[in-house]
Amino acid sequence: MIAHIINTDIYGRGILKVYLKYRLQNFNFLKNAAKLLLDNSEKVLIVSSFPIPPMNICETDGPLGALALYKSVERIGGKAEIWAHEQVKKALRPFDVTFVDKPATSDYSLLISVETVGRASDGKYYSMSGMEVEVPPFDKVFLEAKELGIPTIGIGDGGNEIGMGKIKHLIEKYIPLGEKIATVVKTDELIVSAVSNWGAYGLVAQASLEIGENLLKDWNERKNLEVIVSAGLIDGIIKKPVMSVDGLSVEIHEKIVELLKETVNYQL
Protein backbone atom coordinates (compact mmCIF):
# COMPACT_ATOMS: atom_id res chain seq x y z
CA MET A 1 0.00 0.00 0.00
CA ILE A 2 2.83 2.43 0.86
CA ALA A 3 4.37 1.98 -2.57
CA HIS A 4 1.04 2.82 -4.21
CA ILE A 5 0.59 5.94 -2.08
CA ILE A 6 3.98 7.41 -2.95
CA ASN A 7 3.37 6.78 -6.65
CA THR A 8 0.16 8.78 -6.90
CA ASP A 9 1.03 10.41 -10.23
CA ILE A 10 -1.25 13.45 -9.99
CA TYR A 11 0.30 15.38 -12.85
CA GLY A 12 0.72 12.31 -15.06
CA ARG A 13 4.28 12.76 -16.28
CA GLY A 14 4.79 9.05 -16.85
CA ILE A 15 6.27 7.78 -13.61
CA LEU A 16 3.19 5.66 -12.87
CA LYS A 17 3.93 3.45 -15.88
CA VAL A 18 7.55 3.22 -14.80
CA TYR A 19 6.49 2.27 -11.27
CA LEU A 20 4.09 -0.46 -12.41
CA LYS A 21 6.69 -2.03 -14.71
CA TYR A 22 9.41 -1.72 -12.08
CA ARG A 23 7.27 -3.30 -9.40
CA LEU A 24 6.59 -6.29 -11.61
CA GLN A 25 10.35 -6.81 -11.69
CA ASN A 26 11.01 -5.91 -8.04
CA PHE A 27 7.79 -6.23 -6.06
CA ASN A 28 9.42 -5.73 -2.64
CA PHE A 29 11.60 -2.76 -3.60
CA LEU A 30 10.42 -0.66 -0.66
CA LYS A 31 10.77 -3.44 1.90
CA ASN A 32 14.23 -4.28 0.54
CA ALA A 33 15.33 -0.65 0.80
CA ALA A 34 14.03 -0.41 4.37
CA LYS A 35 15.94 -3.54 5.33
CA LEU A 36 19.11 -2.13 3.78
CA LEU A 37 18.63 1.07 5.78
CA LEU A 38 17.97 -0.68 9.08
CA ASP A 39 20.87 -3.10 8.63
CA ASN A 40 23.38 -0.37 7.76
CA SER A 41 22.40 2.66 9.82
CA GLU A 42 25.69 3.02 11.73
CA LYS A 43 26.85 6.01 9.64
CA VAL A 44 24.69 7.12 6.73
CA LEU A 45 25.53 9.73 4.11
CA ILE A 46 22.40 11.40 2.73
CA VAL A 47 22.78 13.39 -0.49
CA SER A 48 20.17 15.76 -1.90
CA SER A 49 20.51 18.63 -4.37
CA PHE A 50 18.87 19.53 -7.65
CA PRO A 51 19.56 23.07 -8.93
CA ILE A 52 16.86 24.10 -11.40
CA PRO A 53 18.09 25.69 -14.64
CA PRO A 54 18.46 28.34 -15.87
CA MET A 55 18.37 30.22 -12.53
CA ASN A 56 20.40 27.47 -10.83
CA ILE A 57 18.37 27.56 -7.61
CA CYS A 58 17.79 24.31 -5.74
CA GLU A 59 14.28 22.89 -5.52
CA THR A 60 12.10 21.97 -2.57
CA ASP A 61 11.78 18.34 -3.63
CA GLY A 62 14.58 16.34 -2.05
CA PRO A 63 15.72 18.34 0.98
CA LEU A 64 12.65 17.53 3.08
CA GLY A 65 12.95 13.86 2.20
CA ALA A 66 16.62 13.98 3.20
CA LEU A 67 15.65 15.63 6.49
CA ALA A 68 13.02 12.99 7.25
CA LEU A 69 15.57 10.24 6.65
CA TYR A 70 18.20 12.02 8.73
CA LYS A 71 15.86 12.29 11.71
CA SER A 72 14.76 8.68 11.29
CA VAL A 73 18.33 7.38 11.26
CA GLU A 74 18.95 9.26 14.51
CA ARG A 75 15.73 7.87 15.98
CA ILE A 76 16.78 4.27 15.35
CA GLY A 77 20.17 4.84 16.95
CA GLY A 78 22.30 5.49 13.90
CA LYS A 79 24.28 8.51 12.75
CA ALA A 80 23.69 10.53 9.60
CA GLU A 81 25.37 13.35 7.70
CA ILE A 82 24.07 15.39 4.78
CA TRP A 83 26.10 16.36 1.72
CA ALA A 84 24.35 19.04 -0.29
CA HIS A 85 24.51 22.23 -2.34
CA GLU A 86 25.18 25.38 -0.30
CA GLN A 87 21.60 26.54 -0.89
CA VAL A 88 20.21 23.32 0.57
CA LYS A 89 22.56 23.52 3.54
CA LYS A 90 21.32 27.04 4.27
CA ALA A 91 17.71 25.85 4.06
CA LEU A 92 18.24 22.86 6.37
CA ARG A 93 20.49 24.55 8.92
CA PRO A 94 17.58 25.50 11.24
CA PHE A 95 16.83 21.79 11.73
CA ASP A 96 20.07 21.08 13.60
CA VAL A 97 21.58 18.55 11.21
CA THR A 98 25.21 17.65 10.55
CA PHE A 99 26.65 18.54 7.15
CA VAL A 100 29.79 17.33 5.43
CA ASP A 101 31.67 19.15 2.65
CA LYS A 102 34.13 16.55 1.41
CA PRO A 103 32.83 13.11 2.33
CA ALA A 104 35.15 10.13 2.19
CA THR A 105 32.99 7.35 0.80
CA SER A 106 34.75 4.64 2.79
CA ASP A 107 33.70 6.31 6.06
CA TYR A 108 30.05 5.36 5.58
CA SER A 109 27.99 2.23 6.10
CA LEU A 110 25.27 3.37 3.65
CA LEU A 111 24.68 6.09 1.05
CA ILE A 112 21.21 7.46 0.22
CA SER A 113 20.34 9.92 -2.54
CA VAL A 114 17.06 11.84 -2.53
CA GLU A 115 16.33 13.75 -5.76
CA THR A 116 19.95 14.33 -6.73
CA VAL A 117 20.68 14.62 -10.42
CA GLY A 118 22.89 11.86 -11.84
CA ARG A 119 25.02 11.94 -14.96
CA ALA A 120 23.51 10.82 -18.26
CA SER A 121 25.13 8.64 -20.92
CA ASP A 122 27.08 11.62 -22.27
CA GLY A 123 28.43 12.51 -18.83
CA LYS A 124 26.27 15.62 -18.50
CA TYR A 125 23.44 16.36 -16.08
CA TYR A 126 19.95 17.20 -17.32
CA SER A 127 16.65 18.53 -16.01
CA MET A 128 13.33 16.93 -16.98
CA SER A 129 13.02 19.49 -19.77
CA GLY A 130 16.40 18.50 -21.18
CA MET A 131 18.27 21.58 -20.00
CA GLU A 132 21.81 21.05 -18.76
CA VAL A 133 22.18 21.32 -14.98
CA GLU A 134 25.17 22.96 -13.34
CA VAL A 135 25.91 20.87 -10.28
CA PRO A 136 28.88 19.42 -8.38
CA PRO A 137 29.36 15.71 -9.13
CA PHE A 138 27.45 14.44 -6.11
CA ASP A 139 27.06 11.12 -7.91
CA LYS A 140 30.78 10.36 -7.67
CA VAL A 141 30.45 8.92 -4.17
CA PHE A 142 27.83 6.46 -5.41
CA LEU A 143 30.16 5.28 -8.15
CA GLU A 144 32.91 4.92 -5.56
CA ALA A 145 30.57 3.08 -3.18
CA LYS A 146 29.89 0.47 -5.83
CA GLU A 147 33.61 -0.20 -6.18
CA LEU A 148 34.02 -0.38 -2.41
CA GLY A 149 31.00 -2.62 -1.83
CA ILE A 150 29.19 -0.03 0.29
CA PRO A 151 25.39 -0.32 -0.04
CA THR A 152 23.40 2.46 -1.69
CA ILE A 153 19.78 3.58 -2.02
CA GLY A 154 18.46 5.96 -4.67
CA ILE A 155 15.15 7.83 -4.60
CA GLY A 156 13.80 9.56 -7.70
CA ASP A 157 10.69 10.57 -9.60
CA GLY A 158 11.76 11.38 -13.14
CA GLY A 159 14.61 9.20 -14.33
CA ASN A 160 17.46 11.71 -14.15
CA GLU A 161 18.20 11.12 -10.46
CA ILE A 162 20.95 9.04 -8.88
CA GLY A 163 19.77 5.42 -8.73
CA MET A 164 17.46 5.53 -11.75
CA GLY A 165 20.22 4.02 -13.87
CA LYS A 166 18.96 0.74 -12.42
CA ILE A 167 15.89 1.03 -14.69
CA LYS A 168 17.32 3.13 -17.50
CA HIS A 169 15.44 1.07 -20.08
CA LEU A 170 12.10 1.99 -18.50
CA ILE A 171 12.99 5.67 -18.29
CA GLU A 172 13.94 5.74 -21.96
CA LYS A 173 10.66 4.05 -22.88
CA TYR A 174 8.13 5.90 -20.73
CA ILE A 175 9.55 9.30 -19.75
CA PRO A 176 9.57 12.24 -22.22
CA LEU A 177 13.17 12.96 -23.32
CA GLY A 178 14.13 9.80 -21.46
CA GLU A 179 16.85 8.82 -23.90
CA LYS A 180 18.60 12.13 -23.27
CA ILE A 181 18.06 12.75 -19.56
CA ALA A 182 18.17 9.21 -18.12
CA THR A 183 21.00 8.76 -15.66
CA VAL A 184 23.42 5.86 -15.87
CA VAL A 185 24.13 5.92 -12.13
CA LYS A 186 22.73 2.85 -10.38
CA THR A 187 22.13 2.09 -6.72
CA ASP A 188 21.69 -1.25 -4.98
CA GLU A 189 18.11 -0.41 -4.08
CA LEU A 190 15.88 2.07 -5.89
CA ILE A 191 12.69 3.74 -4.72
CA VAL A 192 10.51 5.08 -7.53
CA SER A 193 7.93 7.68 -6.51
CA ALA A 194 5.77 10.41 -7.99
CA VAL A 195 7.57 13.00 -5.84
CA SER A 196 10.98 12.20 -4.40
CA ASN A 197 10.09 13.55 -0.96
CA TRP A 198 7.25 11.04 -0.94
CA GLY A 199 9.72 8.29 -1.78
CA ALA A 200 11.79 9.21 1.27
CA TYR A 201 8.68 9.37 3.45
CA GLY A 202 7.67 5.99 2.07
CA LEU A 203 11.03 4.56 3.07
CA VAL A 204 10.58 5.97 6.58
CA ALA A 205 7.06 4.52 6.71
CA GLN A 206 8.25 1.07 5.63
CA ALA A 207 11.09 1.18 8.15
CA SER A 208 8.48 2.09 10.76
CA LEU A 209 6.59 -1.12 10.03
CA GLU A 210 9.79 -3.13 10.29
CA ILE A 211 10.70 -1.78 13.75
CA GLY A 212 7.18 -1.35 15.13
CA GLU A 213 7.35 2.42 15.68
CA ASN A 214 5.85 5.22 13.59
CA LEU A 215 8.88 7.33 12.67
CA LEU A 216 6.67 9.77 10.75
CA LYS A 217 4.36 10.63 13.64
CA ASP A 218 5.97 14.02 14.43
CA TRP A 219 6.55 15.09 10.82
CA ASN A 220 4.98 18.47 10.03
CA GLU A 221 5.04 18.98 6.27
CA ARG A 222 3.72 22.54 6.25
CA LYS A 223 6.03 23.84 8.97
CA ASN A 224 9.08 22.20 7.44
CA LEU A 225 8.26 23.42 3.94
CA GLU A 226 7.81 26.97 5.24
CA VAL A 227 11.35 26.90 6.61
CA ILE A 228 13.05 25.86 3.39
CA VAL A 229 10.92 28.12 1.19
CA SER A 230 11.77 31.09 3.40
CA ALA A 231 15.43 30.22 2.80
CA GLY A 232 14.91 30.61 -0.94
CA LEU A 233 14.41 27.09 -2.30
CA ILE A 234 11.95 26.94 -5.19
CA ASP A 235 9.25 24.67 -6.56
CA GLY A 236 11.00 22.88 -9.42
CA ILE A 237 7.95 23.08 -11.68
CA ILE A 238 6.68 26.57 -10.86
CA LYS A 239 10.26 27.88 -10.44
CA LYS A 240 9.32 30.19 -7.57
CA PRO A 241 9.76 30.06 -3.76
CA VAL A 242 6.16 29.14 -3.00
CA MET A 243 4.38 26.71 -0.68
CA SER A 244 4.35 23.82 -3.11
CA VAL A 245 6.62 21.01 -4.28
CA ASP A 246 6.79 19.75 -7.86
CA GLY A 247 3.81 21.89 -8.79
CA LEU A 248 1.60 20.39 -6.08
CA SER A 249 0.24 22.52 -3.23
CA VAL A 250 1.32 21.94 0.34
CA GLU A 251 -2.21 20.68 1.08
CA ILE A 252 -1.66 17.72 -1.26
CA HIS A 253 1.66 16.87 0.38
CA GLU A 254 0.05 17.07 3.81
CA LYS A 255 -2.60 14.59 2.70
CA ILE A 256 0.02 12.14 1.40
CA VAL A 257 1.95 12.38 4.66
CA GLU A 258 -1.22 11.88 6.69
CA LEU A 259 -2.16 8.85 4.61
CA LEU A 260 1.29 7.35 5.20
CA LYS A 261 1.05 8.01 8.93
CA GLU A 262 -2.37 6.38 9.16
CA THR A 263 -1.29 3.42 7.03
CA VAL A 264 1.58 2.78 9.43
CA ASN A 265 -0.64 3.23 12.50
CA TYR A 266 -3.18 0.79 11.11
CA GLN A 267 -0.58 -1.89 10.38
CA LEU A 268 1.36 -1.60 13.63
CA 119, distance to chain mean position in Å, is: 16
Per-residue pLDDT of the chain (268 residues; tens, 9 = 90+): 999 999 999 887 779 999 999 999 999 999 999 999 999 999 999 999 999 999 999 999 999 999 999 999 999 999 999 999 999 999 999 999 999 999 999 999 999 999 999 999 999 999 999 999 999 999 999 999 999 999 999 999 999 999 999 999 999 999 999 999 999 999 999 999 999 999 999 999 999 999 999 999 999 999 999 999 999 999 999 999 999 999 999 999 999 999 999 999 999 9
Contact 15, 157 (CB under 8 A): yes
pLDDT given for residue 11 in this prediction: 80
pLDDT given for residue 193 in this prediction: 98
pLDDT given for residue 27 in this prediction: 96
Nearest to 168 by CA among 160, 15, 25, 7: 160
pLDDT given for residue 60 in this prediction: 99
pLDDT given for residue 13 in this prediction: 75
- Is domain 2-267 in CATH 1.20.120.80, yes or no? no
Residue environment code for 235-251, b if the CB has 16+ CB neighbours within 10 A, otherwise e: bbbbeebeebbbbbebe
Domain ranges of the chain: 2-267
| 3-state helix, strand and coil shares in percent for the chain, rounded to the nearest 5 | 45, 15, 40
